[in-house]
Amino acid sequence: MTEPTTSPDVESSGDYVEASSTTAPRKSMTFLGVCDFRIATIFVNGINISMILISVLVAAIRSPLFFKAIFGTLALGLPGLVLSGLGLYGAHKFELWAMYLATAGFLVAVILDGILMNWLGFIVTLIVLIPHAILSHEMRSGIMTQDTYEIEEFIIPQGRDLVDNAHRYMAPNTPAVTE
């Protein structure tokens, strides 16, 4: 057996194999084949926050005691708002501690919804939990980091067109006003 010119990484059946020939670039998982889990986490947190705020407003409008209802339902939705806020922060800034806290909080919420047989809450929270858990795993294992995100970012072309159109709609290019 002869020594290779570069340092060996793996020994397989008596032969040295170089690391560059055995390791493939790591790839992040995709969420339903549509986007990477960072985008999915940001999306589901945005939807979750929107659903909580809409439900607070609906409950307040339906109640004769508007402010009492709005504060009561907001207090019930506050844990979800905080957890989604942590998830948004963690996904946006690649902060693993925030992702861990959000994932643990949503896991507790899923367990409580299951115990209390709140099946709608169970399904919604599970939909929010899965992207958090997978993104936390990818961040912990080094697949999804600030340095690797340019390589790991994925969104289908139709999704990219949708984002670009939404951006143009929300921030249109207006001609500069000159005096």
Q: What is 97-108 written as a DSSP string? A: HHHHHHHHHHHH
Q: Which residues contact 87 (CB under 8 A, 6 or more apart)?
A: 41, 45, 98, 99, 102, 103, 106, 128, 132
Q: Is residue 36 situated within a structural domain?
A: yes
pLDDT tens sequence across 55-73: 888 888 888 887 788 888 8
Task: Report the percentage of the chain scoring pLDDT > 70.
Answer: 80
**Residues 103, 132 contacting (CB under 8 angstroms):** yes
- The per-residue pLDDT for 12 is 39
Domain coverage including residue 81:
29-155
Per-residue pLDDT for 21 more than 80?
no
pLDDT tens sequence across 123-143: 999 999 999 999 999 999 988
pLDDT tens sequence across 24-51: 454 678 888 888 899 999 999 999 999 9
Nearest residue to 143 (alpha-carbon basis) of 36, 42, 18: 36
Q: Is residue 5 situated within a structural domain?
A: no
Q: Is residue 102 situated within a structural domain?
A: yes
Distance CA 38, CA 139 (A): 10
Task: Report the percentage of the chain scoring pLDDT > 90.
Answer: 44
Q: Is residue 54 situated within a structural domain?
A: yes
**Residues 81, 49 contacting (CB under 8 angstroms):** yes
Please provide residue 7's backbone torsions phi and psi, each rounded to the nearest 5 degrees.
-70, 135
**How long, in residues, is the chain?**
179
Q: Is residue 110 situated within a structural domain?
A: yes
Q: Taking the C-alpha atoms of 105, 107, 113 and 116 in order, what is their torsion angle to the nearest 10 degrees?
A: -100
Please provide residue 138's backbone torsions phi and psi, each rounded to the nearest 5 degrees.
-65, -35
Q: Is residue 63 situated within a structural domain?
A: yes
The least confident of 89-98, 120-129, 151-160 is 151-160
How many domains, the chain?
1
Q: Is residue 127 situated within a structural domain?
A: yes
Per-residue pLDDT for 81 more than 50?
yes
Q: Is residue 78 situated within a structural domain?
A: yes
